[in-house]
A and B are shown apart, each in its own frame.
Chain A
Amino acid sequence: MDYLRPQTVAEALAAIAQAGGTATVIAGGTDIIGDIKFRGLKPTALININRLEGLRYITEDASGLRIGALTNIQDLVGNPIIVKSYTALGDAGERFASLQVRNLATVAGSLGRASPGGDMAPPLMALGASVIAVSPSGEREIDLVDFFLGPRRTVLRPGELMREIRIPAPGPRSGSAYARLSYRDVLDLCIVGVASGIKLDAGNRVTSARLALGSVAPRPVRAANVEAFLLGKELTDEVIREAGNVSSQDANPISDQRASAEYRKQMMPVLTRRSLARARDAALG
């Protein structure tokens, strides 16, 4: 097996191209190491991108937030910019795995894994995020809504790397939240996760709503029916309650070892309400 630890993105892209499409890219390693140990992955070439220079940052400017691909999940937790304006992402960071895993796992690694229950995708989708992907032929920006194809499958092409995640500035009177259900609070994957990103006008009417659901479909999905229902309505407790009911039209979850389809279906409205109520607090707070 070949092993390479490039220092720069250009070196990494060259190394991947040279390995000819069969290279395994490893960042924090919390998924890939498990694949090697337990799931029979035998990389022909291991390309360790964990130490690429300058890919670990959280910065905000007028256009919004930029997160470097190698930013650790724990870097999100308690970050003042995220606490203030991107609450959903902080919610997800806090409930992700355990501290010892969060100190290793990366934000891009979570997207790269494309797990249907991954905790980074729903909040990022609700915040309108996109991924900046780089390849030897240049850069492209991919809206996260178009990014996931199914479990472990994304639109990234062989040889393409994620460099950055971008979130547009949410603007005044906007708020976001992520509500997540699991049997244990720590080290337990999500049964149903609902992220909301909303904007309100002076009369508390919803001018923009993005909701994303985790663990209820083969890939994270937007809750189109809830979004349409909310638009233009004053976000009262009653509207939040009804929005919860509408959410059951937005996915057809399956049964697996963690929960039955019926349970998931019943929990979608509950989590949708929790998420929306918290997003409203964030918008008005």
Chain B
Amino acid sequence: MTKAEVRATINGRERELRVDPWRTLLEMLRDDMELTGTKLGCEAGECGACTVLMDGKPVVSCMSLAADADGRTIETIEGISTAEHLHPLQDEFLKLSAFQCGYCAPGMIMSSKALLEHNPHPTEREIREAIAGNLCRCTAYVGIVKAIQNVAAEGVS
């Protein structure tokens, strides 16, 4: 059987993998690379738990072929902080206890990060639009929006 070659920059590191042609990006990240921060929810593109950034843009990794990551830059929740420093969005979400169970958190944070990178001062409506593809089953939306607003007000470092 033919395998697909993937050469991609994943969280800042050049990686080379050989995957089954129908393998999804989510399966490659979680199962082949043990980057389990990215969550599997509906597996059908509808909940946003699996959101990662591909060349800076949020995509649902469960509906994208791993093979299509070839030549691209992929950023997951593991890539946005170091052992010493959390990303400002993570700091603020913690401070406000903005999540409840936290299952939606990785996807929510990746969508928020993409928003603030191209629109550092979004309106509340723009924030809600940006996370509209991320479902939170605990309905923690009020705190989530507030945390994003606070980070925008302080400026992302």
By a beta-carbon cutoff of 8 Å, the part of chain A in contact with chain B is: 1-5, 26, 29-30, 33-34, 36-38, 43, 46, 48, 50-51, 74, 97-101, 103-104, 185-187
Q: Is the CB of B48 within 8 A of A100?
A: yes
| B122 part of interface (Cβ distance < 8 Å) | no
Q: Is the CB of B21 within 8 A of A1?
A: yes
Interface size for B (C-beta < 8 A) is 31
Q: How far is the CA of A97 from the CA of B132 in the complex (A)?
A: 10
| B90 part of interface (Cβ distance < 8 Å) | no
In the bound complex, residues from chain A placing their C-beta under 8 Å from that of B22 are 1, 33, 36, 43, 46
Q: Is the CB of B130 within 8 A of A100?
A: no
Q: Is the CB of B63 within 8 A of A48?
A: no
B residues 110-154 touching A (CB-CB < 8 Å): 111, 129-130, 132-133
Q: Is the CB of A29 within 8 A of B60?
A: no
Contact sample, A vs B, 14 pairs, CB 8 Å cutoff: A1-B22, A3-B3, A5-B70, A29-B65, A30-B63, A33-B62, A33-B64, A46-B22, A98-B60, A99-B133, A101-B63, A103-B59, A104-B59, A187-B46
Q: How far is the CA of A70 from the CA of B11 in the complex (A)?
A: 26
Chain B 55-91: CB-based contact to A (< 8 A → 1; otherwise 0): 0011110111101101100000000000000000000
Residue of A nearest to B64 (CB): A104
Q: How far is the CA of A101 from the CA of B62 in the complex (A)?
A: 10
Residue of B nearest to A186 (CB): B132
In the bound complex, residues from chain B placing their C-beta under 8 Å from that of A29 are 63-65, 68
Residue of A nearest to B55 (CB): A103
Residue of B nearest to A24 (CB): B22
In the bound complex, residues from chain B placing their C-beta under 8 Å from that of A104 are 59-60, 63-64
